[in-house]
Amino acid sequence: MKITSACALAALALLTSCVSEQPVEAGPTKVAHEMHAAMGGLDNWNNTRYVNFKFQVGQDGEWRVSRAHLWDKWAGRYRFESTDSEGARSVALFNVNTKQGKVYVNGEELPADQAQEQIDKAYGSYINDTYWLAMPWKWLEPGVNLKYVGEETVDGEDCDVVELSFEQVGLTPGDVYKAFVSKASHLMVHWEYKLQSDQEGSSDWVYTTTNGLKLAATHKRADGREINMGDPVASNEVDESLFVDPAKTL
C-alpha cells in the first residue's frame, strides 16, 4: 500500500509549511456527511431494520475464522452462529441491549451460567464484527471524536484523512482509527488502526450495495490476507423464526 502525504509533497514543491494547505471549509463532519450521502444516506441506514452478514478471516477463500450474524438494529435481537475447532456448532439467540438470551451447542440448550459466558463472547463478536461491516456509518454516533488531519494519496487516489477516537464507548475505547476517504467517490477506501491492545494494522475497504446501502464486502491487506463479510444483506423483512429457532441456519 503506497501512501503519499500531501503535506510532504507540498513541502518539497513549495519549500513552505503545509499548515495552510487544509481548505477552510474542510472538516471531519463535512467529510462524514458527504461519505454517508455516497453510501446511500444516513436516513436509509437508520430506517433499515435487519442486517445479515458473515465475518471470515483468511486468504484465497480459505477461512480459519468464520461466523454468521443476523442483527435486528431496531429491537436489538441477535442471532450469532459459530463453529469451534472441534466442529461443535453454537447458536446464540440474545438481545444486544440486555445481553440476555439462550445458547445452543449442537442443538442442545446450555445451562444459564454457561450460556451467559457464551452470550458475553457473542456480544464481543457483535461489537467487533459490525464495526468491520459498517464502521463508516458510525462516525456521528455519541462518544465518537472526529479530527481532520489533512490530505494524503492512497494508491494514486486523493483522500481526506480523518482520525477517530472514543470517549468511553464500546469495549475498547482506547482504539484509534485513521480513515482515508476518497475525494472522488467520498467512500472510505482505506483505514489504519492502533488498538487499545497496541495491535496495529491497515487494510483497503471494498464495498457491496444492498437495499441502496454501501456495506463492507471485504477488507484486503497488502500481504494478501483479508477479512471478508460474506454476502451482506440489509433489509426490512426477515424470517422471524431465525431469532428463536436454533435449528435454522443463516
Torsion sign (Cα): 182, 184, 185, 186: positive
pLDDT, averaged across the chain:
89
In a domain? residue 214: yes
Q: What is the CATH number of the domain that holds 191?
A: 2.50.20
Burial class (CB in 10 A: 0-12, 13-18, 19+), 110: middle
Instruction: Residue 164: count other Cβ atoms within 10 Å of its Cβ.
Output: 20
Domain of residue 56 covers 3-243
In a domain? residue 250: no
Q: Which tens digit of pLDDT belongs to each residue from 42-70?
A: 999 999 999 999 999 999 888 999 999 99
Which amino acid belongs to residue 26?
A: A
Q: Which tens digit of pLDDT belongs to each residue from 102-157?
A: 999 999 999 998 999 999 999 999 999 999 999 999 999 999 999 999 999 998 99
Stretch 87-112: mean pLDDT: 96
In a domain? residue 248: no
pLDDT of 24 above 50: no
In a domain? residue 25: yes
In a domain? residue 84: yes
The CA-atom distances, in angstroms, between 41 and each of 63, 98, 188 are: 32, 29, 15
Helices and strands of the chain, counted as H and E runs:
4, 15
Percentage of the chain with pLDDT > 90?
77
The number of domains in the chain is 1
CA count, 13 A, side-chain hemisphere, 114: 8
